[in-house]
Structure 1
Amino acid sequence: MSELLDLRNADGSRTGEVKERALVHRDGDLHGTAHVWLVRYRPDKGSAEVLLQKRSANKDSYPGCYDISSAGHIPAGQDFLESAMRELREELGVEAKPEELHEVFTHVGYVEDVFYGKKFINHEYSKVYLLEYTGRVEDLKLQKEEVESVRWMDYRACLDGIRNATLKSCIFEDEFEKLTAAIEEYFRKTGRPLSCAEKTGTWAEDAQNDLQDWIEEQGIYLRQ
């Protein structure tokens, strides 16, 4: 039997029905997930970066794609914050305190796809958290069954990459659009406002340069 999940109402509350994970994705049932985005401040650029994880090539969905820093299903009977902290610990080896995770919004995502010849429907109600990470990437303990690698990327360049499909990812575009606003608000509230178009007029150029650097690192060549 695969992992059991609580089915969810539109507001994220439990319906009282529990179902196997494989059947949830077969039938497209609304279920809960926790999304944790690790961010860090770049004072030299007046910007911020997000940590992206590259999914293992052995994953049953979206193998080899860039994804949220840490994310996972909410097992039956568990709550969102508890699951968020567990996924951080298991996937990245990060021990976080509850107060360090800032819930910034909820998101409902829906996508249909096919993997290994089987239809896959992801209909998820997600609580989205921010965690400012000040440690080193080298100190992360990656769960190799789930995560192939991680990398930092400028949050605006990441949004551009998602929008124009130069970043191979399974990140919901509308979620990341809301995340960019949440990142800017978080750093504004902590006294570190990020550069933006209205203030500097250079953010788009900076983001494009960061994205181009990433594309070259990956050995991707775009047809002219």
Structure 2
Amino acid sequence: MAEMLTIYNENEQPIGIKEREKVHLDGDWHETFHCWMFRKEGETIHLLLQQRADHKKDFPSLFDITAAGHVEAGEDVLLAGVREIDEEVGLTVVPGDLIPQGYYKEELKEGVLVDREICRIYLLPWTNDKTFTIGEEVKDIVSVPLEDMEGLMDLPRSVKGFSILNGEEKEVNRKNLVPHEKGYERYVFQAIRECVAKL
């Protein structure tokens, strides 16, 4: 059965329901859930990136948000988030675990794909006692220092991360990251720094 999404106008008012495939072809605004997980090691903040499975239709094998997905028509954002986190990385969380960071409207174009998202952003601190069990959509979970990720916004270089699952070293650069607007990245990175400062 096709995944149905609520579509919105420029003012974020709901204007109907449409199949996901058509939403991306027509460039309709729709809601997504984004959960960025992080950990602190000494004074260093590490961002956890999901590496998408090789068979994914969009952006196979690239690094992206720790857990994210579409909010289906009629679905509560937080419940959608809890579902996505469980499906993708196998963590059981409750809505109260997620730290809301507002939203960011992002527009991405890739081939015929026109992805206009109202990104509902949440943060989740991660500790070693939480064990990831990745689903079929995910290949790996990789930890990268936040400062290095910030550096990638402006410099064409590679940074090193390591797999949370097996300790293997991974190289991260702009070419193997799912593309996001720099404004979105700055919004998220600043939110993480402010969140850590309050913990």
Shared fold, TM over 0.5: yes
Q: 1:185 aligns with which of 184, 188, 194?
A: 194
User: Counterparts in 2 of 1:1-224, with a 5 A limit?
Assistant: 1-15=1-15, 17-43=16-42, 46-114=43-111, 119-135=112-128, 139-144=131-136, 146-166=137-157, 167=173, 168-172=176-180, 173-190=182-199
Quote the offset at 1:187 in angstroms: 1.4
Q: Which has the higher strand share?
A: 2
Query: Max radius of gyration: which structure?
Result: 1
Change (3 A) 1:56 1:163: farther
What is the CA–CA distance in structure 2 between the aligned matches of 1:92 and 1:163, rounded to whole Å?
A: 30
Quote the offset at 1:165 in angstroms: 4.9
Partner of 1:202: none
Q: Structure 2 length normalisation: TM-score?
A: 0.85
C-alpha contact (below 8 Å) 1:162/1:169 kept by paired residues:
no
> Structure 1, residues 85-118: CA drift from partner, whole Å, max 9, x if none?
110011001111211101112111111112xxxx
> Structure 1, residues 172-204: CA drift from partner, whole Å, max 9, x if none?
2222211121111111112xxxxxxxxxxxxxx
The answer for unaligned runs of 5 or more in structure 2 is 158-172
Quote the offset at 1:9 in angstroms: 3.3
> Structure 1, residues 115-174: CA drift from partner, whole Å, max 9, x if none?
xxxx1111110110000011357x211012x11111101112112224435422114222
What is the CA–CA distance in structure 2 between the aligned matches of 1:152 and 1:110, rounded to whole Å?
A: 26
Q: Which has the higher helix share?
A: 1
Structure 1 runs (4+) greater than 4 angstroms displaced? none
What is the CA–CA distance in structure 2 between the aligned matches of 1:85 and 1:12, rounded to whole Å?
A: 23
What is the CA–CA distance in structure 1 between the aligned matches of 2:135 and 2:33, rounded to whole Å?
A: 17
> Percent identity at matched positions?
28
Quote the offset at 1:2 in angstroms: 2.3
What code does the residue aligned with 1:177 have?
A: R
What is the CA–CA distance in structure 1 between the aligned matches of 2:90 and 2:13, rounded to whole Å?
A: 29
Change (3 A) 1:159 1:88: same
SS of the equivalent of 1:85 reads helix
SS of the equivalent of 1:185 reads helix
Give me the CA root mean square deviation. Answer: 1.6
What is the CA–CA distance in structure 2 between the aligned matches of 1:175 and 1:9, rounded to whole Å?
A: 20
